[in-house]
Structure 1
Amino acid sequence: MRVVELFSGAGGISLGLRRAGFDILKAYDAWPVAVENYNRNVGNHAVVADLKDLLSTIPEILGLAPDMIAGGPPCQDYSSAGNRTEADNARLTLAFALIVATVRPRWFMMENVIGCAKSSTWAEARAILKRAGYGITESRINASRYGVPQSRRRLFVIGRIGERDDFLASSIAATASAQPMTLRDLFGAITPAAIYFPATSEARRSIWGPDEPAPTIRERSIRPIPTSYQPHPDDAALIRNGYVYSRPVRAGRGVRSIDEPFPTVTRTAWERPTPRYLSAPHPGDPVAAVDTAVLTVHQISRIQGFPVSWEWRASAKQDILQMIANAVPAPVATALGRVILDREAGRTAPDISGGFLQWLHKRGKSKASARNVKASAGRARRLLGGRTFNNLALEISALESLPEFQAMRKATQSDLRQALRLLAEYQAKGKQRRQKPRQATAQPIEGFAEAA
């Protein structure tokens, strides 16, 4: 699948989707420093662009004909670390929706902070995407369950043309790990996929990951990882200490054990505790903040999911930390990208909730009959390659066009059609109960009102 990334920053989403198996066509961001770092590390896809200028951006993206548009519009206006006033940055979420609705790729994926879900701007953007024909799955995920040692909670919105809402929710939930990833998992263990090239000096490392260029290979240089191998001195010091400090965004805990995830990475993650915090520490801190290990910028980058080989370049340290904090962790993008590719290939289908059985019982179905209806609905979904259709008539028509369906007995065909009808009725009633009316107030979008 071919992807265009909007608001790409330094390239976390692009890196993750490329690892999942996507082809990155182009990336756009307004910050030249981030674009420079993207092109150095991911590939020469990124360009500097003002995405509010829809008349310049949309024709170019239409020409690229992507299968998916992905991106993380700026989140500061929704963030719990800010004042939560929806201003210019929030309106860029609307720009994302307008670009998707105009280009109409088969898929889109958007990332933002949890607070975005309840914003009036997202209500507007969602309405635009629905009118463009997208089924939408809104998932609130914790990055520590998707390959990152960080309790970073984010909203991921994934859409596909013609689908029912929540079509991908069960698959996203199923790909989450049973346990959160911890700092020890990242810094204290050597992965089986790692390759050992003995370093020629103490300043160089010996362990290299499978997804990065190896050092120069010399005669007999590739060896099994020795049991006595010690991690990088900075990592070893972190493991020996056992605790790290992260400046609390609000009144949260400042000290974390390495046996739990790091809190959300921010541009202040490297800072040491202030005298104010030391004089009034959080009561839940397991040790004094002054005794915790000091994280390096390189370690913060890895906590955010960037590989060891990533090269950060900027004239100011704060710019590097801002790029790291702004990024979508690549492992999260990889995990969700694989969920999308599996559904695109028909390898998965939406789960049918147990509530469907209870609903069928209330309609007078026996337990055995209800189970048969649910099984038939699941079979129909699998025959459709996991596709759900926002229009029931189209769904049944697509089912009837399949050679496998046409080869079935008439009674079986009838059971599958009826199961889809009942499931659609159940889902429609459930959606009405769960959702409150969304009110999207139309407002002029400064800078691109005419294009909209």
Structure 2
Amino acid sequence: MTFSAGFSVQAVELFCGAGGMSRGLIDAGIEVIRAYDAWPVAVENYRHNIGPHAEVADLKNLLSIIPEIVRLAPDMICGGPPCQDYSLAGRRQEGENASMTVAFAIIATAVRPEWIVMENVIQASKSQAWAEARAMLKRAGYGLSESRTNASLYGVPQSRRRFIVTARLGERDGFLQSAVADAASARPMTLRDMFGPLIKSPLYFPATSAARRSLYSPDESAPTIRERSIRPVPATWHPHAADIALIENGYVYSRPVRGGRGVRTIDEPFPTVTRTSWERPAPKYLGNPHPDDPAPAELTATLTREQASRIQGFPEDWQWIARTQRDILQMIANAVPAPLAKAIGEIILARQAGQTVPAIEGRFLDWLEHNGQRRTIARNIKASAMRARRLLGGRTYADSARELADLDAVAGFASLPKNTRSDLRRALVLLAQFESSKKSRPKTTRQTRATETAPEPIVLADAA
């Protein structure tokens, strides 16, 4: 995916850890100008591998950090507030860590960048802390897209389910959800996909950055093919010995969380990487294995630290600096997988550049027919609404009056036939009414939804 020359988005990352999210956003084309974390060890690793713009900071000290970020004037605030209070691997009791989600929202709304990106575990979406943070963002004028993603569908061989919030000033809620869904792959990425080009005819596509791999199986999706991008596998290339052992074994063990399965095949994604993912099965598990394990746990391979790092999206040449193995594994487990962050970054840049248009979610055609429009006219209205959104560069608007004013100001709009201009304006009005009706619709029975009172119909001419 490419973007127009001179186009850039500058970001500040909060709770940056060792730099997984920054690595992915940078690979997408976003410039990360500052990053903050309270853990000095993580900041040291960030600075060593990404750049000197990371700083140790207590993000609870709002009076200190907010003025500093305001001076930076970023286009984006991003980050993954601590998730331990929400995580299935934790106690799931909201405390100080959960309060950092609120601190994230306070900082973001005080700085007021155009874009906000927040990552957390799925359970955070139902937390009181997120409810408070969400209310702050809405009061500040942000439209929110709340997506529940699985990293295995975004280039990560790991079933890591995460809550991704993207927010933009002035947008309607849900403005980016269709784009996030469309970016998902058709099937999950597996361990074999990452570690298993031990085949007779691997394909070699020279990587464009250190964060990407170069070898692909003929049975998986390859990167975008450019002129002369397919080359013979270099004679100097050889697989990692640990990767060979993993592929030849065919099974891998991961310490299960809350009674889950401990053994996976290499043709599945790995479960969520945690600090203990590298451990061998303990006697307790060996004596009482999960009934769905496809192989005995004692016969499986376990991940090396380097494999866990690569599964989390860190480049092969990433250098970990820490006094203890525990700290390194904790940094790996805490990270946002770089390929997932890269996918979100590319989605945002494409929308910023007006290269994508949000889909019209819901039964817009049925709603129009319910309000007296014939099916043919309803299709024309929907087509006009999508055309208007394309003219607006993919923007949606919480304020309908501003949406219409910006449409009138679009270059070339005034030269369109009068009837066409009228149809485009009225299609946006109807779409806004439809979106409002979805918000106010009570979530009860299907019969109640079908019989609720709708706005008076607006009769449109066929779109030109």
Instruction: Give the TM-score normalised by the residue count of structure 1.
Output: 0.89
Contact 2:254 2:302 in 1 (8 A): no
| Counterpart among 111, 123, 127 of residue 119 in structure 1 | 127
- Residue identity in the other structure for 2:257: V
Q: Distance in 1 between matches of 2:432 and 2:137?
A: 21
Shift of 1:212: 2.8
Q: Corresponding residue for 2:329?
A: 321
Deviations 1:177-224 (A, max 9, x none): 0010000000012875555xxxxxxxxxxxxx54239xxxxxxxxx94
Contact 1:349 1:382 in 2 (8 A): yes
SS in 1 for 2:86: coil
Alignment of 1:1-16 (within 5 A): 1-16=9-24
SS in 2 for 1:178: coil
Shift of 1:352: 1.2
Q: Distance in 2 between matches of 1:435 and 1:127?
A: 20
Q: Corresponding residue for 1:269?
A: 277
- Residue identity in the other structure for 1:211: S
Q: Distance in 1 between matches of 2:75 and 2:208?
A: 28
- Residue identity in the other structure for 2:190: T
- Residue identity in the other structure for 2:18: A
SS in 1 for 2:270: coil
Q: Distance in 1 between matches of 2:101 and 2:203?
A: 40
Contact 1:245 1:292 in 2 (8 A): yes
Q: Distance in 2 between matches of 1:435 and 1:247?
A: 40
Q: Distance in 1 between matches of 2:126 and 2:232?
A: 52
- Residue identity in the other structure for 2:210: E
Q: Corresponding residue for 1:287?
A: 295
Contact 1:230 1:236 in 2 (8 A): no
Matched, 1:345 2:353: yes
Q: Distance in 2 between matches of 1:38 and 1:192?
A: 32
- Residue identity in the other structure for 2:37: D
Measured on the aligned residues, the alpha-carbon RMSD in Å equals: 1.8
Q: Corresponding residue for 2:210?
A: 212
Shift of 1:353: 3.1
* 5+ long unaligned stretches in structure 2: 1-8, 212-230, 445-464
Matched, 1:48 2:48: no
Displaced runs of 4 or more, over 6 A: none
- Residue identity in the other structure for 1:415: D
Alignment of 1:45-124 (within 5 A): 45-124=53-132
| Counterpart among 29, 32, 49 of residue 21 in structure 1 | 29
Contact 2:364 2:382 in 1 (8 A): yes
Matched, 1:30 2:38: yes
Q: Distance in 1 between matches of 2:331 and 2:442?
A: 37
Q: Corresponding residue for 1:431?
A: 439
Deviations 1:334-375 (A, max 9, x none): 001000000000001110135101111111111100100000
- Residue identity in the other structure for 2:305: V
Q: Corresponding residue for 1:143?
A: 151
Shift of 1:405: 1.4
Q: Distance in 1 between matches of 2:168 and 2:83?
A: 23
Matched, 1:413 2:421: yes
Q: Which moved more, 1:238-247 or 1:424-433?
A: 424-433
Q: Corresponding residue for 1:217?
A: none
Q: Corresponding residue for 1:306?
A: 314
Q: Distance in 1 between matches of 2:424 and 2:153?
A: 36
Shift of 1:82: 1.4
Contact 2:13 2:78 in 1 (8 A): yes
SS in 1 for 2:158: coil
SS in 2 for 1:126: helix
Alignment of 1:157-236 (within 5 A): 157-189=165-197, 192=203, 209-212=207-210, 224-225=232-233, 230-236=238-244
Q: Corresponding residue for 2:379?
A: 371
Q: Distance in 1 between matches of 2:294 and 2:79?
A: 37
Q: Distance in 2 between matches of 1:194 and 1:30?
A: 39
Contact 1:107 1:158 in 2 (8 A): yes
Shift of 1:392: 0.4
Shift of 1:231: 1.3
Q: Which moved more, 1:421-430 or 1:323-332?
A: 421-430
Deviations 1:397-417 (A, max 9, x none): 100111321111111111111
Q: Distance in 1 between matches of 2:360 and 2:382?
A: 7
How many residues align structurally? 415
SS in 2 for 1:50: coil
- Residue identity in the other structure for 2:290: H
Contact 1:187 1:235 in 2 (8 A): yes
SS in 1 for 2:302: coil
Q: Distance in 2 between matches of 1:119 and 1:136?
A: 16
Q: Distance in 2 between matches of 1:435 and 1:265?
A: 36
SS in 2 for 1:403: coil
Contact 2:109 2:136 in 1 (8 A): yes
Deviations 1:309-345 (A, max 9, x none): 1011111100000000000000000001000000000
- Residue identity in the other structure for 1:78: Y
Shift of 1:294: 2.2
CA distance 1:244–1:212, shift in 2 (3 Å)? same
CA distance 1:434–1:329, shift in 2 (3 Å)? farther
Shift of 1:256: 0.4
Q: Distance in 1 between matches of 2:117 and 2:236?
A: 44
Report the identity percentage. Answer: 61
* 5+ long unaligned stretches in structure 1: 196-208, 214-222, 437-452
Deviations 1:225-278 (A, max 9, x none): 158965111101100000000000111100000001000000000001111100
- Residue identity in the other structure for 1:163: E
- Residue identity in the other structure for 1:378: M
| Counterpart among 133, 139, 148 of residue 141 in structure 2 | 133
Q: Distance in 2 between matches of 1:265 and 1:290?
A: 20
Q: Distance in 1 between matches of 2:232 and 2:379?
A: 53
Contact 1:193 1:210 in 2 (8 A): no
Q: Distance in 2 between matches of 1:273 and 1:435?
A: 46
